[in-house]
Amino acid sequence: MSIKLQCRKCEKVYNLRDETAGKSLKCKVCGEPMIVPKGGVILRHAPRKKEFEVAIGDGENIERIGEHIARYVGPVETVFHEIVSDLVHVDVHFVPADGEREYHTLVTSGMSDRPMTVPEGAEDFQFAELVLCLPDTWPLSQKDFNDENNYWPVRWLKQLARFPHEYDTWLGAGHTIPNGDPPEPFCGTTEFCCWLIAPPLFSPSKFHELRIDNQKTVRFYSLIALYLDEMNFKLKKGLELLLDRLEEHRVTEFLDVHRRNVCRRRLWPF
């Protein structure tokens, strides 16, 4: 079985051998660094060992990210700020639906204030932020957030933005993060229990990266909510086959809590 990998910059498609999984490569066309995804990468929660460390946001970094969002996604209407932050100060920028987009877009800032702990050779992937799209009917007022059934997508954006800094690890395309072990639903109104990290599909390619300087490039990744069957399918069959199914059913970073489980076994009547 081969691994299909597409360069995010020039969109050149490569069919790579299985033994390249997890390795850092460069695109032969444009020189863009790439990490070959591992089908079995599952990042599970463990008891945290670090003590609470108060963090103050990097104002310049927040401003640069806000400008980047406005340029390539749309005007930021508001920012959901943290009052007290641990390790990194994570804000969530809110771009509302408009005539062209029938969905709200949420983008973090602050995850990239610190470098993630990446494997040797993957230093180009140390800095990241996260993206998630919600239906334009999703309740997003401060009052609405008192109900966890409304707040959980925002909570998870913040949790995952802090996750690599809490556990000295990293998040990249193809990684999967379950809600516990065994995974439990994110809330009472959905069976989603896991997140897949993937390149954004609802934004132009120029949004995917923000070059700060010669030493720092921030990469933007989307969150795709998965069912338990889908996560297990990835473990057994590999990332590429799961991505094929998700693409076939047009599953993206748009959070549809009622979407079909693309890996559920069908029970046929005798």
Per-position pLDDT tens, the chain of length 270? 446 566 666 666 677 765 666 667 777 777 777 767 655 554 555 666 777 777 887 888 899 999 999 999 999 999 998 888 888 999 999 999 998 889 999 999 999 999 999 988 889 999 999 999 999 999 999 899 999 999 999 999 999 999 999 999 999 999 999 999 889 999 999 999 999 999 999 999 999 999 999 999 999 999 999 999 999 999 888 999 999 999 999 999 999 999 999 998 764 454
CA distance 92 to 108: 4
Token pair 């990290």 in the structure block, residue? 197
pLDDT, mean over the chain: 87
Nearest to 146 by CA among 159, 137, 155: 155
Task: Supply the DSSP string of 227-247, one letter for each residue.
Answer: -HHHHHHHHHH-HHHHHHHHH
Q: Which amino acid is at 91?
A: D
Phi-psi region of 155 (alpha: psi -120 to 50; beta: other; left: phi over 0): alpha
* Residues 141-167: b if buried by 16+ CB within 10 A, e if exposed: eeeeeeeeebbbbbebbbbbbbbbbbb
Domain-by-domain residue ranges, the chain? 1-36, 41-248
How many other C-beta atoms can be found within 10 angstroms of the C-beta atom of residue 181?
Answer: 10
pLDDT of residue 270: 45
